Amino acid sequence: MKSRTTYLALCPTLLTATLLVCAQAAAESSAEVANKIKAAMQMDYRTEAELARDANRAPVEALTFMGLRDDMKVVEFVPSRQAWYTKILAPVLADKGELYVIDSNATFESWGDLLENPAFKSTRKIPIELSYNREEGRYNLGELDLGVTDADLFLNIREYHNFNAEDRARLNQMTFDTLGSGGRYVVIDHTRRHMQPEVPELRRREDPVQVIIEVQAAGFILEKASDMFYRPVDTLDKEVGEFRGQTDRFFLVFKKP
């Protein structure tokens, strides 16, 4: 029988070997998902306009930073008529994961027969009511009962600015309830300089500090942030449309404890 000292001496070696195996497996899984993302980017249903945005939006790098795996249950909030991320996420998740897309019936109707494509076999739509408030220049959220409570990843990409403080609080709480423990909430939006006033030309921008405060109030913790969408050409004091797709965007990843 080996002595207790011998076993203790072996422990660091075994632990190191185990960690190396886990790290290698994670790297291989990440590489496999990256290859699936690249393949999805070449799907024939993507338009020339969508392909033209790939360099700016960096889907491989962005989705990798979010921690996307191909066996996840992912929720995408308001992908809009362009469905830019949806068209990439759907084939990546088709075989082992699930994709839930939340938007209005009008948006889903505008997609035509897109969801009938085999690449969307694991994609489910969740219709919600969205009405536009012209006075505020924002949308009003209807009922938020998604019927999902164990999602791994919730994406809110360039939509946070479209809602007032009350609806943002409701949305953040709904996201918290939709995710399982350890689930991640991703918020990407056009950057507003901290403490800038609410004026028309800044309506489609958000102060990332305020976003962090609001999302943490729902129970999340800020896990990480990326500057991959930093754009020095954006002076942060003009309407986002003036920068022709080159706006500065903050990229925050929150985690449900």
Lowest mean pLDDT among 96-105, 114-123, 196-205, 224-233: 196-205
**Residue 30, amino acid:** S
| pLDDT digit string, tens, across residues 112-163 | 999 999 999 999 999 999 988 888 889 999 888 888 999 999 999 999 999 9
For residue 256, with 0-12 CB atoms within 10 Å meaning exposed, 13-18 middle and 19 or more buried, which class applies? buried
CATH of residue 13: 3.40.50.150
Q: Does the structure show a pLDDT above 80 at 26?
A: no
Whole-number pLDDT of residue 245: 85
**Residue at token pair 């422990």:** 11
Provide the domain limits for residue 192: 4-255
d(CA 251, CA 66): 9
* Whether the predicted model's global pTM rises above the 0.95 cut: no
Residue 118 makes CB contacts below 8 A (sequence gap 6+) with 94
- Checking 51-59 for CB contacts under 8 A at 24+ apart, the result is 53/84, 53/245, 56/245, 56/246, 57/84, 58/228, 58/229, 59/85, 59/88
User: Which tokens sit at 199?
Assistant: 């004026």
d(CA 95, CA 132): 36
d(CA 249, CA 233): 12
Cα dihedral value 103, 71, 228, 46, nearest 10:
-60
**Total number of domains constituting the chain:** 1
d(CA 68, CA 40): 14
